[in-house]
């Protein structure tokens, strides 16, 4: 069956689902897909998402669940699948100007980050933009 086959007896690297955001998203997605109970005993929980990625990069785990942006930045892994968007809460990184700190430079940087040039850079590194 699918949840067991790709691991070939190995472990599934994830950020610790008890406290690491990427691990929490992984658990949510696996639950939604009906694979959590099968895979939970096979987890290799990392201190953070980069730790989970490192386990896969060092071939200590055959597969891992990490942010797409982390996988894209790594030369040592390939993305073999992605979770459906509706399988977990949306992962968002908001931007805002802190009250009392708005000035010309901050406003220009804010506008740049929301513009097409920054959007192209974000996409190159595995992020999507609104």
State whether residue 43 is helix, strand or coil. Answer: strand
| Residue 128, pLDDT score | 87
State whether residue 51 is helix, strand or coil. Answer: helix
| Residue 6, pLDDT score | 74
Q: How far apart are CA 39 and CA 17, in angstroms?
A: 12
Judge contact between 50 and 70, C-beta under 8 A.
yes
> Which ranges constitute the DSSP H helices of 65-103?
68-73
Judge contact between 6 and 36, C-beta under 8 A.
no
Q: What does the domain layout of the chain look like in residue ranges?
A: 5-87, 92-130
| Residue 5, pLDDT score | 56
Give per-10-residue mean pLDDT for the chain (130 aa). 66 96 96 95 96 96 94 91 91 91 95 95 88
| Residue 60, pLDDT score | 95
Q: Which CATH superfamily is domain 5-87 in?
A: Periplasmic binding protein-like II (3.40.190.10)
């Amino acid at each position: 069956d699918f949840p067991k086959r790709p691991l070939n007896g190995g472990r599934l690297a994830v950020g610790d689902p008890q406290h690491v955001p990427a691990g929490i998203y992984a658990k949510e997605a696996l639950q939604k897909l009906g694979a959590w109970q099968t895979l939970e005993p096979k987890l290799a929980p990392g201190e953070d998402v980069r730790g989970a990625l490192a386990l896969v990069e060092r071939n200590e785990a055959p597969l891992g669940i990490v942010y797409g942006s982390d996988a894209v930045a790594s030369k040592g892994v390939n993305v073999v699948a992605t979770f459906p968007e509706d399988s977990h809460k949306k992962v968002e990184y908001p931007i805002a100007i802190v009250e009392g700190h708005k000035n010309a430079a901050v406003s220009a940087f804010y506008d740049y980050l929301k513009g097409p040039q920054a959007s192209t850079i974000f996409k190159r590194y595995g992020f999507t933009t609104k």
